[in-house]
Amino acid sequence: MSLTMRVLAPVRPYWTHVGALLLLGLVSIPLALLAPLPLKIAVDSVIGSHPLPRPLDPLVPDVVTRSPGALLALAIGLLVAVPLLQQLQGLATALLRARLKENWAAGIQHDPPVVPYALTESLVRFISASATLIVILYVMARIDGRLALVALAIWPGLVVTAQAIRRCLRHPSREAKRLAIAAGTAGVLLVGIHHVRSGLITLGDVLLAMGYMSSAYESLWTIGRKAASLQLQLASTRQSAAPSMVSVRRSNPKRHPAVHAWCQLYPHDEPRGITPLRIGRQRRVYRLEGVGRAGTAVIAKQCPKADAPIEHTVYEEILPRVTVPSLRYYGFLEEPDSEHHWLFLEEATGVKYSRLLDAHRAQAARWLGLLHTSATVVAHQGPLPDAGPGRYLARLRAARESMQQHLDNPVLSRNDIVVIEGIRARLADLAEHWSRVEELCHDVPHTLVHGDFNGKNIRLRSTTGDPTVVVFDWADAGWGVPAVDLAQMTVPASKLSANPDLPTYCSTVSERWPDVSTAALRRLAHCGTVFRALAALSWETDSLGHEWASTSVGYMRMFEAEMAHALDALGWTPRGRPITPHPVLAE
């Protein structure tokens, strides 16, 4: 019990967000009840002479109930309004999930994540689906108790049959669910028509019950998936909770891998303490207390073997030769028998960057302009990967392939599949005409590109009264046009870019790049937004194979919207028509 309480303890600071997410999930219940109602109104009250359903009748004026035309207008209005409200509810849920995930990540940045966000999200969806099922079965029982019993009785056999024929289906989980719903609908229709002929219910009641049965089966399917997911996630978090809480209680600090690596470079400078800042699958970051200059802390970063040389090149060979302030670099340690290497650098202290503050955006733009113009003559000295359009074309193709591979994930709803296929279609059009994107990048010099220039990697310090920008995490650095560093994201929740102030950047680079116009730099920034959105899509598509795939689809919709906005600003038109710059860009 005590371990379970420790596992659930990190959820407490986020009860407000979790409660709001649950409330939005419960909003789907009245929408599910209203969805098939227009058919009943049209059949029973417009064509026939039956009154409106009792819960709805008191809410509708007598003038409407007496006129078949007004009732038909009411049915059509509901037919249009309910799907629209469902889309709005889905969008609000996706945005709230994004905000919760960001706050969650920010809250656990100094400790290993004991409770994964996916566990909480699965619990909320399990509760929402259970409540929806209970309400729908109650309403079906009020319409005709036998129809509700038929729907429940058919379900177990359908599940067994669906599992038996899974291997014969192209997309097993999704198609098995469709077959189950179709068979259940047929059973309800067969019994319902018999009851209509007996005068027990109306034809509209049968149509209503069929719609409710489909929603009930969707809820049952969700409950089964989320119950299995919760069991696996809770078992996993219980196993990881205890070790994570004792991992830093080592009696001998030198046995810690970060301290051991540091002592190989500096044998006589043992840290006074060690604090874990980030524990991930690919990267681990620790703070080593008291071993830096004047007793300051040093950051020990364990990163993949492929990324470490890039950061080492930037810190060791490039940043010391450019006219921008940078963090002190303490060294690099290769581990021959490991897939990871160690980097040691000064801790980036100072004020956290906010792209909502104009002063911060101007300072970031000035720093970026100085970096890009001064690095053009030194960046080629180090072996850096391509950071131009070619990198993001590769990520576009990887994202499309990953989406195709995970379309049969059973956690994806029909709406999720529609969204994914729409994004794949847009990416296909973009890939087909990628040469037009490359043309927009031709007029700007190649230089050092950070590649992940956003608020989490920026701090602002105040030295002698003047603010100074320091930037870290150069794992995505490369050589190319600086488009992605200039990206301008419009959705605050995305947090993919620092949104540096473009007028300040243009004035900073104008002296060394006199041939580059302001309009060209604005077009480059829009290309950078497209690149940044493509990078985010390629990261997020990797999650489509997991239980939290629906959450990832919400993020993908946001990234696709950012990309669409940038392409629209560039005057992008599909099917190969030439790009005409947006009027704003020509100013």
Q: Which residues of 85-121 are buried (b: 16+ CB within 10 A; e: fewer)?
A: bbeeebeebbbbbbebbeebeeebeebbbbbbbbbbb
Round to whole Å and give the CA distance between 468 and 249: 37
Residues with Cβ < 8 Å from 351, sequence gap 6 or more?
459, 460, 461
Round to whole Å and give the CA distance between 239 and 244: 9
Q: 47-66 pLDDT, tens per residue?
A: 988 888 888 888 888 888 88
Q: How many CA atoms lie within 13 A of 88 on its CB side?
A: 8
Tokens 């160690």 belong to residue:
342
Q: 165-211 pLDDT, tens per residue?
A: 555 544 555 566 677 777 778 888 888 888 888 888 889 888 888 88
Pick from 260, 343, 333, 346: nearest CA to 298: 346
Percent of the chain residues topping a pLDDT of 70: 80
Q: How confident is the model at residue 508 (pLDDT cuts 50, 70, 90)?
A: very high
Q: What is the mean predicted confidence (pLDDT) over 78-90?
A: 88
540 pLDDT exceeds 60? yes
User: Which stretch of DSSP H or E encloses residue 124?
Assistant: helix 117-143
Length of the chain: 587
* Amino acid in the structure at residue 105: A
Q: What is the mean predicted confidence (pLDDT) over 406-416?
A: 86
Q: What is the mean predicted confidence (pLDDT) over 318-331?
A: 90
Question: Could you give the domains of the chain?
Answer: 2-245 (1.20.1560.10), 253-346 (3.30.200.20), 352-586 (3.90.1200)
Look at residue 373 in the predicted model and tell me its pLDDT.
Answer: 93
The strands making up 329-333's β-sheet, listed across from edge to edge, are 274-279, 284-288, 298-304, 340-346, 329-333
Look at residue 587 in the predicted model and tell me its pLDDT.
Answer: 39
Least trusted range by pLDDT, from 60-69, 436-445, 489-498, 576-585: 576-585
* Amino acid in the structure at residue 196: V
Residues with Cβ < 8 Å from 578, sequence gap 6 or more?
436
Average pLDDT, the chain: 81
Q: 380-405 pLDDT, tens per residue?
A: 555 789 999 999 999 999 999 999 99
548: three-class secondary structure by DSSP: coil
In DSSP terms, 340 is beta-bridged to: 304
Answer yes or no: are the C-beta atoms of 274 and 253 closer than 8 Å: yes
pTM value? 0.61
529 pLDDT exceeds 60? yes
Look at residue 571 in the predicted model and tell me its pLDDT.
Answer: 86
Look at residue 173 in the predicted model and tell me its pLDDT.
Answer: 55
Higher pLDDT, 368 or 11: 368
